[in-house]
């Protein structure tokens, strides 16, 4: 074949290396989204494995399956993996896969920067996990409270990998945030005013702003820890007069907006899925959007609710308790609007809908326990117990329901194949039952005084049964995830063909073929309605439903499907990969500046730092002068 192709002068079909090269150099938001998705899925399995190790260790009192240092590494890495690599990774996945299609754009505003974000994310995630090779993964908790991260308390490499890994991931997030703000502000199809934008895109916009403003605070705090560890500064050293609480303030000024960075996109997914599977518009669109805006603003004013026990005094605690409770109001507004969306709808219980409904169910409980934490007197007892563990799993692990809803919903757009409904429902029920039976009893354990972050606990304190029960239940979640993997493979091999609009969708992504062509939209659509596609099919108020049932007009028609039309698409580029690699190598070099006795290279680490810097400079130079094509 190939020889024939050559003989007639056609470009030969690319081989494996050519195919790989096309992915390494891609700047297409769809391919970048797929790479994010695959990476994130791998980390979901990795973080899940860490969770199972935790549950195995805690399945009975005084277990010796893991020694304390290993356990501390495992629970730290479980948290970091699930927050920074899985949930944030899925956000980036969905932003890339969905936002440009929803706003009728051909790509993001800065395609090469987008590729850079992905490569930085990948290398950062590797850097964060690299400590395992030394047997010294981060072991200070995902919150890394000073002075436990100081060289005196922790002379190993764990905190260094923590600092550098998070720093790299932060660079990725800020770049992605800037990119998506620019994309959503500038690249909307004509006619799509802000209040005609799909809610998922709205939440992506808010999340992007949160990332731009929250992560630099973490960056500064991490640089201070790095200087303390590498160069002997005293930002957080109490022996030299520092107040280590400074770290907590900086960390949570980042850390609480981070919680909304995690959850707002999930709320966006729910706001897309519910209307489609209720065949009704989202109830109270502007209230859902504005309560998201309100949450985003408030999220910067509540950080000290993580610090009620540190001794800020009653006035500060009262103020932060009340600001935190205020967040419950817009959250409640969202939940009520979702319920009203279902009300009088025509509910279709496809797998995405099941996951979306489950998100509402578990998120409600997470919200209630959240308000309980915000109540300071109760918080003094609850904080640092399993009640908190229950709470944030109902919220953050609850986000995984929205993630799965999103995957089942948008999967056919990218594969042109449906996921199997039978396996999907099995996945759902295993996961939903496993989730509640694992994290539900943690509420009880917390009220019964079981503290967090403990590798062991004595028998006879009333905790034994429910710990064993939770450990067994966790297996159901693992099983559910495996069913999903089977479903994914099955769908790719032999799934039912989906077509352009398998769910009777409402937004622009369902107007184009599945999978979308490289240029997305042959013609940029003109938008005149919220839920533009639905309005085109049924009329803005559903008045054409009868006519449509009779005629079934072609969905997925992409007018003038690109043939003969010149569409400018950006050229592939390997510079984003090179720059990200250079930065990550330099950061690894900074870890290696630690003394030889603990596993570093000492001053030789500067060679790595310098080499990384050289690659970065070279890559940036090439990037800057790359022809636009």
Partner 1 sequence: MLRRSKGFAGLGLTLLGPSLLLAGCVQSVGPMDWVGPVAGDQAEAQRWVTWYLIYLGAAVFVFVEGWLLYNIIKFRRPLGPGRLPPQIHGHPTVEVLWTVIPTLIVAAIAVPSVPAIFSFAQPPDEAGGLRVEVLAHQWWWEFRYPEVGPGKTITVANELVIPVGRTVIATLSSADVIHSFWVPKLAGKVDVIPGRQKNRIWFNAREPGEYYGWCAEFCGTQHAQMRFRVKAVPAAEFEAWVRARLSPPPEPEEGLARRGFELFGARGCGGCHTIEGTPYQGKVGPNLTNIGGRSTVGAGVLENDPEGRGLFRWVKNPQAVKPGNKMPYLGLSDEDVLAIVAYLKTLR
Positions in 123-182 near partner 1 (CB under 8 A): 140-141, 145, 147-148, 152-154
SS (H, E, C) 561-587: CCCCCCCCCCCCCCHHHHHHHHHHHHH
Binding mask 485-524 for partner 1 (x = CB under 8 A): ----------------------------------------
Q: Supply the minimum distance, in Å, between the C-beta of residue 202 and partner 1.
A: 16
Q: What is the C-alpha separation between 194 and 471, in angstroms, rounded?
A: 46
Q: Is 15 in the site for partner 1 (CB under 8 A)?
A: no
Q: Supply the minimum distance, in Å, between the C-beta of residue 22 and partner 1.
A: 44
Q: Supply the minimum distance, in Å, between the C-beta of residue 108 and partner 1.
A: 30
Q: What is the C-alpha separation between 97 and 495, in angstroms, rounded?
A: 20
User: 592 to 611, contacts with partner 1 by CB under 8 A?
Assistant: none
Q: Is 364 in the site for partner 1 (CB under 8 A)?
A: yes
User: 90 to 129, contacts with partner 1 by CB under 8 A?
Assistant: none
Instruction: Give the angle 597-583-127 at the CA atoms, nearest 5°.
Output: 50
Q: 15 or 68, CB closer to partner 1?
A: 68
Q: Long-range pairs for 618-623 at CB < 8 Å and ≥24 separation?
A: 618/578, 618/582, 619/575, 619/576, 619/578, 619/579, 619/581, 619/582, 620/575, 620/579, 622/575, 622/578, 623/112, 623/573, 623/575, 623/576, 623/579
Q: What is the C-alpha separation between 75 and 81, in angstroms, rounded?
A: 10
Tell me which of 61, 155, 301, 328 binds partner 1, using CB under 8 A. Answer: 328
Q: 341 or 487, CB closer to partner 1?
A: 341
Q: What is the C-alpha separation between 166 and 184, in angstroms, rounded?
A: 26
Tell me which of 45, 182, 310, 613 binds partner 1, using CB under 8 A. Answer: 310
Q: Is 449 in the site for partner 1 (CB under 8 A)?
A: yes
**How many CA atoms does the CB half-sphere of 554 hold within 13 Å?**
6
Q: 59 or 69, CB closer to partner 1?
A: 69
Q: Which stretch binds partner 1 (CB under 8 A): 220-228, 396-404, 547-555, 616-624?
A: 547-555
Binding mask 266-305 for partner 1 (x = CB under 8 A): ------------xxxx-xxxxx------------------
Q: Which stretch binds partner 1 (CB under 8 A): 261-269, 419-427, 452-460, 578-586?
A: 452-460
Nearby residues of 553 by Cβ (< 8 Å), 6 or more positions away: 537
Q: Supply the minimum distance, in Å, between the C-beta of residue 620 and partner 1.
A: 40
Q: What is the C-alpha separation between 325 and 119, in angstroms, rounded?
A: 38
Residue ranges of E strands in 399-452: none
Q: Is 553 in the site for partner 1 (CB under 8 A)?
A: no
Strand, helix or coil at 57?
helix
Tell me which of 385, 415, 471, 487 binds partner 1, using CB under 8 A. Answer: 385
Tell me which of 61, 238, 499, 515 binds partner 1, using CB under 8 A. Answer: 238
Positive/negative CA dihedral, 126, 128, 132, 135: positive
Are the CB atoms for 475 and 511 separated by under 8 Å?
A: no
- Of the candidates 26, 93, 331, 616, the residue annotated as catalytic is 331
Residues with a catalytic annotation lie at 78, 107, 142, 172-173, 256, 258, 260, 271, 305-306, 331, 334, 452
């Amino acid at each position: 074949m190939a020889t024939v192709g050559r003989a007639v002068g056609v470009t030969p079909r690319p081989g494996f290396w050519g195919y790989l090269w096309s992915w390494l150099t891609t700047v297409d938001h769809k391919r970048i989204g797929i790479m994010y998705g695959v990476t994130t899925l791998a980390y979901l399995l990795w973080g899940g494995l860490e969770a199972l190790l935790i549950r195995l260790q805690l399945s009975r009192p005084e277990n010796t399956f893991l020694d304390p240092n290993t356990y501390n590494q495992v629970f730290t890495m479980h948290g970091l993996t699930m927050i920074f690599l899985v949930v944030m990774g899925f956000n980036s996945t969905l932003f890339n896969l969905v936002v440009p299609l929803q706003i009728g754009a051909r790509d993001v505003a800065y395609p090469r920067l987008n590729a850079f974000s992905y490569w930085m994310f990948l290398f950062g995630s590797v850097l964060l996990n690299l400590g395992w090779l030394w047997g010294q993964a981060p072991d200070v908790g995902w919150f890394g409270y000073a002075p436990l991260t100081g060289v005196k308390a922790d002379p190993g490499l764990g905190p260094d990998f923590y600092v550098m890994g998070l720093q790299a991931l932060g660079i990725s997030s800020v770049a992605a945030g800037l990119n998506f703000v620019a994309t959503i502000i500038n690249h909307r199809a004509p006619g799509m005013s802000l209040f005609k934008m799909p809610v998922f895109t709205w939440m992506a916009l808010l999340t992007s702003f949160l990332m731009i403003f929250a992560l630099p605070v973490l960056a500064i705090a991490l640089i201070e820890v790095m200087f303390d560890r590498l160069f002997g500064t005293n930002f957080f050293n109490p022996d030299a007069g520092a107040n280590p609480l400074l770290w907590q303030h900086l960390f949570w000024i980042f850390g609480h907006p981070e919680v909304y960075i995690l959850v707002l996109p999930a709320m966006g997914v729910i706001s897309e899925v519910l209307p489609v599977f209720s065949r009704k518009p989202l109830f109270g669109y502007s209230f859902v959007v504005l309560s998201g805006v309100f949450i985003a603003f408030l999220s910067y004013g509540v950080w000290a609710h993580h610090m009620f026990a540190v001794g800020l005094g009653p006035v500060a605690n009262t103020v932060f308790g009340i600001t935190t409770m205020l967040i419950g109001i817009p959250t409640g507004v969202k939940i009520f609007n979702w319920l009203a969306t279902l009300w009088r709808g025509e509910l279709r219980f496809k797998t995405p809908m099941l996951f979306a409904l489950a998100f509402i169910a578990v998120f409600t409980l997470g919200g209630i326990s959240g308000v309980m934490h915000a109540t300071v007197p109760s918080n003094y007892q609850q904080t640092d117990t399993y009640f908190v563990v229950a709470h944030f799993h109902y919220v953050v692990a609850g986000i995984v329901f929205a993630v799965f809803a999103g995957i089942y919903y948008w999967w056919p757009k990218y594969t042109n194949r449906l996921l199997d409904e039978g396996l999907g429902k099995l996945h759902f029920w295993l996961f939903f039952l496993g989730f509640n039976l694992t994290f539900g009893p943690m509420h009880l354990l917390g009220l019964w005084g079981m503290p967090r972050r403990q590798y062991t606990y004595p028998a006879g304190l009333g905790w034994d049964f429910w710990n064993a029960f939770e450990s067994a239940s966790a297996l159901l979640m693992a099983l559910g995830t495996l069913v999903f993997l089977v479903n994914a493979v099955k769908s790719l091999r032999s799934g039912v063909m989906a077509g352009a609009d398998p769910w009777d969708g409402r937004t622009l992504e369902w107007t184009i073929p599945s999978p979308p062509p490289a240029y997305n939209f042959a013609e940029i659509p003109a938008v005149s309605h919220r839920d533009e596609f639905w309005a085109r099919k049924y009329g803005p108020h559903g008045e054409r439903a009868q006519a449509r049932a009779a005629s079934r007009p072609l969905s997925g028609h992409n007018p003038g499907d690109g043939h003969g039309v010149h569409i400018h698409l950006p050229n592939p580029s390997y510079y984003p990969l090179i720059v990200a690699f250079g930065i990550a190598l330099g950061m690894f070099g900074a870890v290696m500046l630690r003394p030889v006795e603990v596993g570093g290279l000492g001053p030789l680490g500067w060679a790595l730092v310098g080499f990384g810097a050289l690659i970065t400079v070279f890559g940036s130079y090439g990037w800057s002068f790359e022809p636009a094509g």
